[in-house]
Amino acid sequence: MTALGSVVIQTVVVLTGLVVVQGDTQVGCVFGGSCVLPCRFQPNSDTILHWVKKDGEDVHVHSYYDDQDQLGYQDPLYKGRTSLFHDQISGGNASLGLARVNLQDQGKYLCYASTSQNNQETFVILTARAPVTRVDIVLVNNTVTCKSGGIYPIPQLTWSVSPRPATVLQNTTEVHEDDQGLYDISGSLRTVYNDTES
């Protein structure tokens, strides 16, 4: 009887030690906006949630246990920018809300969820982008200048001219990176048209 009891106890220990690992989820976020990193788990009692950025050293992003947020070890870069959906945790939603997204937020995140029944790991890869929101075009004599800024990833400038000019005298493009890691781009095109073309 004692031996059988020992076997049962060992089996229980093995079962509660199982870790379910899910594949990577890709999430694209807009620079300066808010974003949700999805994570679901099998709900049960004694829920413990940890969000960690896997960036060489582990960066603690957000933790939850004892039915409340635990931010004592939160990295200062994430202070005041993270949140959980508290009313949905009991249903298995461990998704992380991230506000004021910046380029340093890019990378691989681990969502670790532990309950009295099992442990689960979900990985989310966050990429940030800053789309083109404005383009300034100026025509002076035979030179067209095109400018835009606050863009990520690095932009490219392509010219399309109609009707096709007889000669393209100059086509220059300059790209500069600002202190936030965003790009400004400026290009100019100087053309001479064939007056004999109809």
d(CA 166, CA 163): 9
Show pLDDT as tens, one digit a residue, over the chain (198 residues): 434 333 333 323 333 344 455 568 999 999 999 999 999 999 999 999 999 999 889 999 999 999 999 999 999 999 999 999 999 999 999 999 999 999 999 999 999 999 999 999 999 999 999 999 999 999 998 888 999 999 999 999 988 877 776 676 678 999 999 999 999 999 998 876 555 544
Residue 54: closest CA among 127, 101, 129, 124: 124
Query: What is the model's pLDDT at position 141?
Result: 87
Query: What is the model's pLDDT at position 162?
Result: 74
d(CA 86, CA 65): 11
Query: What is the model's pLDDT at position 31?
Result: 97
- State the pairing for strand pair 19-30/119-129: parallel
Query: What is the model's pLDDT at position 10?
Result: 34
d(CA 185, CA 190): 17
- Spell out the domain ranges in the chain: 18-129, 136-192
Query: What is the model's pLDDT at position 168?
Result: 63
| Residue type, position 22, single letter | Q
- How remote is the C-alpha of 64 from its chain's centroid? 21
CATH class of 18-129: mainly beta
**Count of residues making up the chain:** 198
- Burial of residue 170 (CB within 10 Å: 0-12, 13-18, 19+) is exposed
pTM above 0.85, yes or no: no
* Backbone CA torsion sign across 28, 70, 85, 34: negative
Average pLDDT, the chain: 86
Query: What is the model's pLDDT at position 1?
Result: 41
Query: What is the model's pLDDT at position 73?
Result: 95
Residue 59 CB neighbours (<10 A) = 16
Query: What is the model's pLDDT at position 192?
Result: 66
Query: What is the model's pLDDT at position 23?
Result: 66
Contact 158, 132 (CB under 8 A): no
Contacts of 128 (CB under 8 A, 6+ apart): 28, 29, 30, 31, 101, 102, 103, 105, 106, 152
Strands (DSSP E) contained in the chain are: 19-30, 35-37, 48-55, 57-65, 68-69, 82-84, 96-98, 107-114, 119-129, 136-140, 143-151, 167-177, 183-192
